[in-house]
Amino acid sequence: MTAKMFQKRKALKIAYLSLVALLLVWTVGSWLFVKSFYDSNFARLEQAKYSGFLRYSDVSGYPRSVIQFNSGENKLTAYICGEENQKGLVVISHGLGYGAEDYLAQTLYFVDHSWRVFTFDNTGVYQSEGKSQVGLSQSSIDLNAALAYIEKDPTLSKLPLMLYGHSWGGYAVTAVLNYDHNITAVVSIAGFNTPNELMLEDAKSEMGLFAYLEYPFMVKYQSRLFGDSAKLSAVEGINRVDTPVMIIHGTGDESISYTGASIISHRAEITNPNVVHQTISTQNHNGHKSLFKSDAALNYADQLNQEYQNINDQYNGNIPDEVKGEFYAGINKSLASQLDMNFMDGINYFLESQLP
């Protein structure tokens, strides 16, 4: 072997080893990035000390029972309100970053319209056990466990079963149709079709085209966490049954794109003949969280946000706890939580029209 050939082979070997080392570093770095992404986005959620919206302690005349049921190795806390109502049972599945009590206004609306309501905190949220919220598939897993509990309860199981979910819960109430439950009707608000689609959408908004390099690691990590449950699709669940489903999404949704990861963007793939699609395009009401809020509530929120920003500026971002407490004590929580009655009445009419 000549010296020239030797040097060429040596250079090729160095290039090969460098490529292997680069791939190894990239792979390890990608796994660490994905784990960090999950740890930060799905950390355990504790209830905030202060709230500008209604909490159960703010209302009277709505007795509720507190129960627990198992979801995997964790006990989840649930609330049953309107136990005197016999029309049907509305199960509310909450969004990511929220808990059951954050949907108290909707709960009270349904109770006032003669529904019994079952709400619960998902794994790792508020009063439920769990070191974290785990990931996007967890909402459908927890809802499946809640429905299993309801079906074994001698009283709850006799009522027509309605599902109402928003965002993370909007996915859950449709993905859970892949399981065998006797569900009368479903309302999915601002839901996504699959966890993988939403992960890629979020990653692209944060990392641009680099997201496509990390996406395979995200899919693999999701699969390691949830197994077959990671593959559940909202559209497949909807098509698997003939259950009436109302799908609602806003054109200005800033969290789950109307034309991207949303369920409604897949409406051409839906074959269930009993599906109703509702697009909300009204300005100020077409966002992710503004869909069910009244104009008065949205205007009040703008006012409160400005007042809080002024206080924050006054204290250079370090608001004393007593000042923060005074601010929240002065909030009209009923107004801040006020619902768009036309929006809710449309949902109520849809659910009532499916009663046997």
Supply φ then ψ for residue 227, to 5 degrees. Answer: 60, -135
pLDDT in tens, 268-323: 999 999 999 999 999 989 999 999 999 999 999 999 999 999 999 999 999 999 99
- The pLDDT assigned to 313 comes to 94
pLDDT value, residue 14: 60
Closest to 269 in 3D by CA, of 235, 303, 244: 235
- pLDDT of 219 reads 84
Cβ-in-10-Å burial (0-12, 13-18, 19+) of 195 comes to: buried
| Residues 62, 85: Cα–Cα separation, whole Å | 12
- List the pLDDT tens digit at each of the 356 positions of the chain: 566 665 656 566 665 555 555 665 556 555 666 777 778 789 999 999 999 999 999 999 999 999 999 999 999 999 999 999 999 999 999 999 999 999 999 999 999 999 999 999 999 999 999 999 999 999 999 999 999 999 999 999 999 999 999 999 999 999 999 999 999 999 999 999 999 999 889 878 777 766 677 788 788 889 999 999 999 999 999 999 999 999 999 999 999 999 999 999 999 999 999 999 999 999 989 999 999 999 999 999 999 999 999 999 999 999 999 999 999 999 999 999 999 999 999 999 999 999 99
Structure tokens at 219: 């899919």
pTM score > 0.85 for this model? yes
pLDDT (0 to 100) of residue 15: 58
Q: DSSP letter at 267? A: G
- For 165, the token pair is 């979910």
3-class secondary structure, 121: coil
Q: How many other CB atoms sit within 10 Å of the CB of residue 108?
A: 20
Strand 89-93 vs strand 161-166: parallel, antiparallel, or unpaired? parallel
Q: For the domain 59-194+232-293+341-353, what is the CATH code?
A: 3.40.50.1820
pLDDT number for residue 208: 72
Cα 154 to Cα 160: distance, rounded to the nearest angstrom? 13
CB 187 within 8 A of CB 163: yes
- Each domain of the chain, given as residue ranges in start order, spans 59-194+232-293+341-353, 294-338
